[in-house]
């Protein structure tokens, strides 16, 4: 199972609060991801403000519940009461496909979450 996570409006965070605060947000998210993850889950920084989470095979319901647990657990309040939120693209690796194909689908689901208003999980 694969989750691709992106920090919502991260460019605005850097632009408004500065890159030091942006770095603090990324570190906080990474720390919380590790805290929320079980021992059989792998977490990777996938890009600037994106993280890749690889989990063991879960049912769709279990996977979406885990994604929502992560999403809710990662909300982070900045000093002016602005909430930092995340969007997640969720999928399962299909038989006979590479992990990269699953990540590609998770990226499409992530784009759907962002285009539907952010701060949500979408499954594809």
Strands 76-77 and 83-84: antiparallel
Q: What is the mean pLDDT of residues 65-70?
A: 95
pLDDT band at 124 (very low <50, low <70, confident <90, very high): very high
Give residue 89's pLDDT: 98
Tens-digit pLDDT profile for residues 69-109: 999 999 888 877 889 999 999 999 999 999 999 999 999 99
Alpha-carbon gap, residue 8 to 15, rounded angstroms: 13
Q: What is the mean pLDDT of residues 12-33?
A: 94
pTM (2 decimals)?
0.93
Superfamily for domain range 2-123: Reverse transcriptase/Diguanylate cyclase domain (3.30.70.270)
Domain residue ranges in the chain: 2-123
49 noted as active-site residue: yes
50-53 own/partner pairs: CB under 8 Å, 24+ apart: 50/4, 50/5, 50/6, 50/7, 51/4, 51/5, 51/6, 52/2, 52/3, 52/4, 52/5, 52/103, 52/106, 53/2, 53/3, 53/4, 53/5
Give residue 75's pLDDT: 87
* For residue 39, pLDDT beyond 90: no
Catalytic residue among 49, 68, 92, 97: 49
């Amino acid at each position: 199972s694969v989750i691709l996570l992106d920090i919502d409006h991260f460019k605005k965070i850097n632009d408004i609060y500065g890159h030091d605060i942006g770095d603090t947000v990324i570190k906080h998210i990474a720390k919380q991801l590790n805290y929320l993850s079980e021992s059989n889950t792998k977490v990777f920084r996938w890009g600037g403000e994106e993280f890749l989470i690889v989990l063991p095979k879960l049912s769709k319901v279990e996977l979406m519940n885990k994604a929502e647990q992560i999403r809710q657990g990662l909300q982070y309040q900045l000093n002016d009461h602005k909430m930092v939120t995340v969007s997640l693209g969720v999928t399962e690796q299909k038989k006979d496909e590479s992990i990269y194909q699953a990540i590609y689908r998770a990226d499409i689901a992530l784009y759907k979450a962002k285009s539907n208003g952010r701060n949500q999980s979408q499954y594809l």
